[in-house]
Amino acid sequence: MTRIGTSDLDIFPLSLGGNVFGWTADRDASFAVLDAFVDGGGDFIDTADSYSSWVPGNSGGESETIIGEWLASRKPAGLTVATKVSQHPDFRGLSAGNVRKAAEASLGRLGVESIDLYYAHFDDQSVPLEETVGAFGQLVADGLVRHVAVSNYSADRIREWMDIARRTGVAQPVAIQPHYNLVHRNEVEESIIPVAEEFGLGLVPYYSLASGFLTGKYRSVETDGQTSPRAAGAAKYATDAGLRVIDALEEIGAAHGASIAATSLAWLRAQPTVVAPIASARTVEQVPDLLAGARLELGADEIETLNRVSEWTPAQA
């Protein structure tokens, strides 16, 4: 188990991504994936109020509704559920009034009394940050939210948020959710990990499998014959450089009897401040690789090999 930053949230070090629920996984498939994840020891679920509003016929909130129905049916003990605000079509942005209304709507869909971890999904620079920080702080003070977190924020804006929260005495963020994986490293390593280290925040990376590329199932940038809506976003990494990363993962994973996916998640877990990579599964068959990724420990030499093969160039000062 791993502690998220300075919070009291002790979690299994792999978070199940919820954006497939109500999209590429229907209600039954979602229930089966959630059951398999929890049966395998998982206890940390990531969603957002906007998932999956981009699907024709959906309006947002489908993922939270499925998770809420599953929670009501299974009543699992000790689960940590994270959700996010700012992108739901009916609750856009981070004004104080919107944050409050969106949180109440999420609580209703999830059927819980408080949200364990509540993210500002994307920065909203049209609202003074003092107002947003105050709104999140009020949710914690009122017991609707246990812990605050931020996603897709720049390091400077995270610092500003921390300063305001400290100055005004409201709850400070405990986690950051950035886009981070073996083929998307530089921005996070350059600016986000240092700010997480500075404030003792836990990193919860998303796109941990690069939308499926880091499972090794895309060996060409061509997506002919691929039916997944994630195929184009994943296959674009299948360049010579990307495939060298896959080859290294395959070789290192083989020494542990682990898949490429599990090995790539284990690399991410080994990075400074990372507490739990987020990865989604569309089917029950995909879940064991995610669980294995939470348990596999790589040697320092293996991590170094993966660092080298996925090397990036730091920006010039």
Is 99 buried (19+), middle (13-18) or exposed (0-12) by CB count in 10 A? Answer: buried
CB 28, CB 195: distance < 8 Å: no
Q: What mask of x and - would describe binding to ligand NAP in positions 157 to 196, judged by CB under 6 A? A: --------------------x-------------------
Based on the shown chain and the rule CB under 6 A, indicate whether residue 310 belongs to the binding site for ligand NAP: no
CB 30, CB 22: distance < 8 Å: yes
What's the closest the beta carbon of residue 212 comes to ligand NAP, in angstroms? 3
Amino acid at 137: G
CA 306/CA 317 separation, integer angstroms: 25
Of 169 and 296, which has the nearer Cβ to ligand NAP? 296
What's the closest the beta carbon of residue 167 comes to ligand NAP, in angstroms? 27
Question: Segment 64-83, which members bind ligand NAP (CB under 6 A)?
Answer: none
Based on the shown chain and the rule CB under 6 A, indicate whether residue 53 belongs to the binding site for ligand NAP: no
What's the closest the beta carbon of residue 207 comes to ligand NAP, in angstroms? 4
CA 82/CA 312 separation, integer angstroms: 31
Catalytic residue from among 51, 153, 218, 237: 51
DSSP state of 283: S
State which of residues 228, 236, 250, 307 lies at the interface with ligand NAP (CB under 6 A): 228
Cα 289 from chain centre: 17
Based on the shown chain and the rule CB under 6 A, indicate whether residue 61 belongs to the binding site for ligand NAP: no
Length of the chain (residues):
317
Based on the shown chain and the rule CB under 6 A, indicate whether residue 132 belongs to the binding site for ligand NAP: no
CA 138/CA 7 separation, integer angstroms: 17
Which backbone phi and psi does 205 adopt, to 5 degrees?
Answer: -70, 145
> Which are the catalytic amino acids?
51
For ligand NAP, the binding residues (CB under 6 A) are: 17-20, 24, 46, 151-152, 177, 206-212, 215, 217, 228, 230, 261, 278-282, 286, 289
